[in-house]
Structure 1
Amino acid sequence: MARTLADAPIMILNGPNLNLLGQRQVDIYGAGTLADVEAMCAEAAAAHGGSVDLRQSNHEGELIDWIHEARLNHCGIVINPAAYSHTSVALLDALNTCDGLPVVEVHISNIHRREEFRHHSYVSLRADGVIAGCGLQGYVFAVERIAALAGEGLAAA
């Protein structure tokens, strides 16, 4: 059963090392923090009558458990899998269990302008949209897209 933003929050998942936003590789990821991401996303969701549930883990299994939870309790998933983008078939398999749940993948940097190994993302094979290279603003774009997809029941994707 498709849930709308009014019925359930958007799950925003962040992978390894994103807890250090604003502290590491500021030249690539900027000075904004994960708390800034949460505030920006909460404001964007509130504009559509909804809310967000932002989480971060450095552990692949925990991210998978949260994806399983999201399929039952959330209206969509925004995911920045970080380095797991390029390595994790397990995250792809978990996302593939989320039939009818919109998924938008976010990357703060433009992964296609970085090392070649970063050009491929397993998560992209399931994502309904991919946003890369827009800085922290990419999360807001992703929340907006989830709000649209959840409101449309994903039919217009």
Structure 2
Amino acid sequence: MKLLVLNGPNLNRLGKREPDIYGAETLADVEQKLQTIASESFVELFFYQSNSEGALIDKIHEAYDFGYDGIIFNPGAYTHTSIAIRDAIASVDIPVIEIHISNIHSREPFRHTSLIAPVCIGQLSGFGTSGYELALQAFLLRRKGVKL
């Protein structure tokens, strides 16, 4: 199994940016934890973070073109604003799980709507950085044939 872990704007600032909301872990910490789980489960993970909408769209297209089995995606603020990212996900036949470190539904009203969720197989929100691990576990269940 080959998965892309895709992170949008400002996630490169994890550990520094609003630690009261996002915690003290860095993106490198998150990636290391995921890599440990993936190695034990014979999963190849590829990590990519960008603050640019177009670069994220390119990676979504590439994931499909190169035969990835799924995408774990934290689109950051693009969740609420990017029809282009939504359309990119809809344009490829690859399962995507949307994740958010904080609970977007308990924050400011403008964060309550996800343009991305309707084209994803699921959304994890509010579980801290464990959401990444939960998304990986969901893909492992799918590999075993569990319908999610």
Q: TM-score, normalised by structure 1?
A: 0.89
Encode CA deviations 1:35-74: one digit per residue, 9 max, x unaligned: 0111111122223211211110000000000000011221
Give the one of 68, 76, 93 matched to 1:82: 76
| Residues 147/72 of structure 1: CA separation in 2 closer, same or farther (3 Å cut) | farther
Q: Give distance in 1, aligned partners of 2:50 and 2:141.
A: 27
Name the counterpart of 1:95: 89
Name the counterpart of 2:29: 36
Name the counterpart of 1:25: 18
Please tell me whether residue 13 in structure 1 is matched to residue 6 in structure 2. yes
How many residues align structurally?
147
Please give the secondary structure, in 1, of the residue aligned with 2:43: coil
Name the counterpart of 2:47: 54
Please give the secondary structure, in 2, of the residue aligned with 1:149: helix
Q: TM-score, normalised by structure 2?
A: 0.94
Root mean square deviation, CA, Å: 1.2
Encode CA deviations 1:81-103: one digit per residue, 9 max, x unaligned: 0000000010110001221x221
Q: Give distance in 1, aligned partners of 2:8 and 2:83.
A: 14
Give 1:151 deviation, angstroms: 4.5
Query: Is the contact made by 1:14 and 1:81 (CA closer than 8 Å) also made in structure 2?
Result: yes
Please give the secondary structure, in 1, of the residue aligned with 2:25: coil
Q: Give distance in 1, aligned partners of 2:143 and 2:60.
A: 16
Q: Give distance in 2, aligned partners of 1:91 and 1:148.
A: 26
Name the counterpart of 1:144: 137
The answer to which structure, 1 or 2, has the higher relative contact order (CA under 8 A, 6+ apart) is 1
Q: What 5-or-longer segments of structure 1 have no aligned partner?
A: none
Please give the secondary structure, in 2, of the residue aligned with 1:130: strand
Q: What 5-or-longer segments of structure 2 have no aligned partner?
A: none
Q: Give distance in 2, aligned partners of 1:103 and 1:112.
A: 20
Query: Is the contact made by 1:85 and 1:121 (CA closer than 8 Å) also made in structure 2?
Result: yes
Identity %: 46
